[in-house]
Amino acid sequence: MKLGLEVFLEKHTRQYTDKKIGLLTNLTGVNHELKSTIDLFHEHEHISLTALFGPEHGIRGEVQEGKLIESTVDSFTGVPVYSLYNKKKQPNHEMLDEVDVVFCDLQDIGSRYYTFIYSLANMMKICGEKEKKVVVLDRPNPINGLMVEGNIIEDGFQSFVGQFPLPVRHGMTIGELALLFTNKFNIDCSLEVIPMEGWTRDMYFEQTNLLWVSPTPNTTTMDMCILYPGTCLIEGTNLSEGRGTTKPFEVIGAPFINGRKLADEMNALSIPGVLFRPTVFMPMYQKYEGEVCEGVQVHVTDRNVLQAFELGILLLEKVYQLYPKHIEFIRGGKENRYFIDLLAGTDKLRKQVIEGNTRTFRNQLTKYVEQFKQVRNSYLLY
């Protein structure tokens, strides 16, 4: 297969010979030989690279989650780097003064929590206001383009981990999402998507002929990406989601948990596609840094039947049932909101976890999925 980047470089560069090019990318912007998109653009005879734009974690991927990033100059190319993970989480008009067209080459991981897609959306919005074109160089959805999971963001719960009414696992590529943003979510900009060649919707990332470059410090294996739509909910609690370990979003725990008991209780639920193993770990940073935690490691046994979002809900429900006096839902931000409400896109999940039964919430998920599949059909490229 060929990436959108490779298709563009082979067939479309000459039409941009006289244009000043901006590039929204990070360490995942590479070709099959792992040559950086930044370098490929900088060295290309028909491309004048005048600005770089970096999402959360920085253009080279060295910054941890949630850390604001200053604009700087790229040490390899000497091109200005404008941070899109600033206080406003978006570009300003001045960043585009020396740009005619903005290209995007970012590897998404298929979940609405992942902030790269909102950096793209915000860039598209500003480009529309400045009458600048956006070109998205498409990349695979690493957890395939068929499976869709989860509820839809409700009004009043939009945030930078859920800016649009998407399900938790959207089953779209970043190029398809860009088309959805312009046509369904009313982002008015001139948009072109350069599709891949040879990618099919049933592919997981290792079924492509690409090498995996972790987009962020805690985006590790394919199992992690598959579990992330569910286990990311743990971020909204005082449980460790495994940050600071070698298995983020695969190990879940806290000092107050009995790992063996939790594993037994979760395995008794017979959740399709996973098994739970009791584990002990010590995070090197983030929650419970330097403290011994017990919990579970979630092992994927069949990714084609696993519903990760429902798994995450059941895990939260079970921990709350076992440790109601210990588990807490984290508040934060200017409005002191529950972070899990922003992740879930609603306060219904948190309230039903507290009540001790999430069945009502889980029973509605199929309805949301079917509604979204009908919406997205018009924007699928493959």
Q: List the pLDDT tens digit at each of the 382 positions of the chain.
A: 999 999 999 999 999 999 999 999 999 999 999 999 999 999 999 999 999 999 988 887 677 777 788 888 998 899 999 999 988 888 889 999 999 999 999 999 999 999 999 999 999 999 999 999 999 999 999 999 999 999 999 999 999 999 999 999 999 999 999 999 999 999 999 999 999 999 999 999 999 999 999 999 899 999 999 999 999 999 999 999 999 999 999 999 999 999 999 999 999 999 999 999 999 999 999 999 999 999 999 999 999 999 999 999 999 999 999 999 999 999 988 889 999 999 999 999 999 999 999 999 999 999 999 999 999 999 999 9
How far are the Cα atoms of 31, 150, 297, 379 from residue 174, in angstroms, in the given order? 16, 18, 30, 11
And the tokens for 94?
């001045």
Residues 161 and 259 in one domain: no
Q: Are 295 and 252 in contact (CB under 8 A)?
A: yes
Determine, yes or no, domain membership for 272: yes
How confident is the model at residue 152, as a pLDDT? 97
**H-helix or E-strand spanning residue 320:** helix 308-322
Residue 37 Cα to chain centre, angstroms: 20
Specify the number of domains making up the chain.
2
Determine, yes or no, domain membership for 363: no
Determine, yes or no, domain membership for 267: yes
How confident is the model at residue 166, as a pLDDT? 97
Residues 255 and 330 in one domain: yes
Amino acid at 318: K
Residues 229 and 205 in one domain: no
Residues 200 and 234 in one domain: no
How confident is the model at residue 68, as a pLDDT? 83
Determine, yes or no, domain membership for 81: yes
Give dist(CA 106, CA 339) in Å, integer. 26
Determine, yes or no, domain membership for 102: yes
How confident is the model at residue 75, as a pLDDT? 86
Amino acid at 164: F
Range of the domain at 32: 4-213+374-379
Residues 201 and 228 in one domain: no
Q: Domain holding 58: CATH number?
A: 3.40.50.12170
Give 66-106 as a DSSP string: T-----EE-TTT--EEEESSSTTSS--GGGGTT-SEEEEE-
pTM of the shown model: 0.95
Q: Are 378 and 183 in contact (CB under 8 A)?
A: yes
Residues 190 and 250 in one domain: no
Residues 234 and 323 in one domain: yes
How far are the Cα atoms of 149, 173, 250, 307 from residue 111, in angstroms, in the given order? 9, 10, 16, 13
Determine, yes or no, domain membership for 336: yes
